[in-house]
Amino acid sequence: MIDRSIKSKYINVDDHRRIIAISDIHANLPVLKKLLKKIAFDMHQDELFLVGDLLEKGAYNMETLHFIMELSKSPHVHPMMGNCDFVCKNVLYEYRLDFLKEVLLHRQNSILHEMAATLGIHFHKDIDMIEYARILKQHFPKELAFVDQLPHVVETQHYIFGHAAILDEDHYGKEMRDIMTHNRFLDDAKRFQKYVVVGHLPVSEYCDGICCFNPMIDDLRHIIAIDGGNEVKSAGQLNALLIEHGNFSYAHSDCLKKAKVLDSIQPINSDPFFIKWYDSSVKILKEDDIRYLCRHLSSGKDFWIPKDFIFHKGDEIHVDNFTTYHLPVEKGDYVKIVSTCGEHALVKKNGIMGWIPRKILSK
């Protein structure tokens, strides 16, 4: 029987230590290592909180897990469980295996796929899930047990860390799902006494006119959302929240190609619009060679959208990661290239996404 209770731990952090919080690594070990190097992580000087979704969706699951297991030998490294990491509990407790099968049939990259592959097991729609789970448990007991034992919440004197949310500061929630799967926490959360640091939902999903992937800090309600959309957004990034003597800053890394801006441009943006994942339904009105003219159903606004941004859910038509914002840039700036369409490039500068002319980018 699976235990649904919330696992938590409380630690005292020396006020002289730098606190680092990173969430939603999603098995992207190269970007994690790049970020830790960028911020000069030192486990002798820093307190590192890994706020869930350590695994799944990225391509380096086993390597990421072993890397975190090694880091966690230090008393100053604190990994937590996210909803994506729960697949390990599904196997370990043979819990909701029919649901797990559906997840794995549609997920290209998974810790479970990697475990199975090392044993020569190919996952398919007719696989016996009970036998599958028992084989993985037999061969990977340490890895599965490590994930199973991760806390859902870690609290310090001044901060509370949980993957998606907490409901209150006394008990955190009624069960583990309240911590790991609460969606759109910033929309309905109350004010907390301590700062609550969460991941789970990319911060871009809270944006309207201009899309930004940097951490969001709500000083009124004491909430900090840090998921930069790493591995789930084409322009996503892995964020690190840095806390030193009560002051907040951040750094990020990604795997996008860098380009130099050759000329300055200050475009006019009369009404920039960003289409979010949770509000992405459109109707196609007409098309040309590379774009569709689409009507965004909830707003009624019409946009020309490159065909690469369109995807289907059954009979529904949706758009992912599209913005109408044109990004101001200065000669000599460096930007990250997200995609290109015709004469324009979708780029990211300092965590903000927008379009610029391709001709002003270095080759």
Domain ranges, residue 81: 14-253
| Residue 320: pLDDT over 90 | no
Q: Are residues 319 and 192 in the same domain?
A: no
Predicted pLDDT at 124: 95
Do residues 55 and 64 make contact, with C-beta atoms less than 8 angstroms apart?
A: yes
Percent of the chain beyond pLDDT 90? Answer: 95
Tens-digit pLDDT profile for residues 286-307: 999 999 999 999 999 999 999 9
Please state, in angstroms and rounded to a whole number, the distance separating the CA atoms of residues 47 and 40. 12
Q: Are residues 326 and 212 in the same domain?
A: no
Q: What is the mean pLDDT of residues 155-171?
A: 97
Q: Are residues 121 and 209 in the same domain?
A: yes
| Residue 321: pLDDT over 90 | no
Domain boundary among 253, 285, 319: 253
Tens-digit pLDDT profile for residues 77-121: 999 999 999 999 999 999 999 999 999 999 999 999 999 999 999
Report residue 75 as tokens: 């008393």
* Amino acid of residue 46: D
Tens-digit pLDDT profile for residues 211-236: 999 999 999 999 999 999 999 999 99
Which one-letter DSSP state was computed for residue 201?
S
Q: Are residues 284 and 336 in the same domain?
A: yes
Q: Are residues 178 and 262 in the same domain?
A: no
Does residue 109 sit in helix, strand or coil?
Answer: coil
Q: Are residues 165 and 297 in the same domain?
A: no
Tens-digit pLDDT profile for residues 113-161: 999 999 999 999 999 999 999 999 999 999 999 999 999 999 999 999 9
pTM: 0.95
Q: Are residues 44 and 191 in the same domain?
A: yes
Please name which of 213, 322, 331, 316 lies closest in space to residue 275, comparing C-alpha atoms: 322
Predicted pLDDT at 356: 97
Assess if residue 277 is contained within a domain. Answer: yes
Tens-digit pLDDT profile for residues 260-293: 999 999 999 989 999 999 999 999 999 999 999 9
Predicted pLDDT at 88: 98
Do residues 227 and 199 make contact, with C-beta atoms less than 8 angstroms apart?
A: yes
Q: Are residues 291 and 162 in the same domain?
A: no
**What does the mean pLDDT of the chain come to?**
96
Report residue 300 as tokens: 């009624």
Assess if residue 195 is contained within a domain. Answer: yes
Please name which of 166, 238, 220, 175 lies closest in space to residue 196, comparing C-alpha atoms: 166
- Cα-based distances in Å from 151 to 10, 75, 147, 174, 217: 10, 14, 9, 15, 24
Q: What is the mean pLDDT of residues 28-44?
A: 97
Predicted pLDDT at 46: 98
Assess if residue 6 is contained within a domain. Answer: no
Predicted pLDDT at 208: 85
Domain count, the chain: 2
Please state, in angstroms and rounded to a whole number, the distance separating the CA atoms of residues 55 and 83. 10
Tell the residue number behind the tokens 């999903």, with chain if given. Answer: 205
- For helices 111-118 and 61-71, the axis angle rounded to 10 degrees is 100
* CATH number of the domain that residue 222 is part of: 3.60.21.10
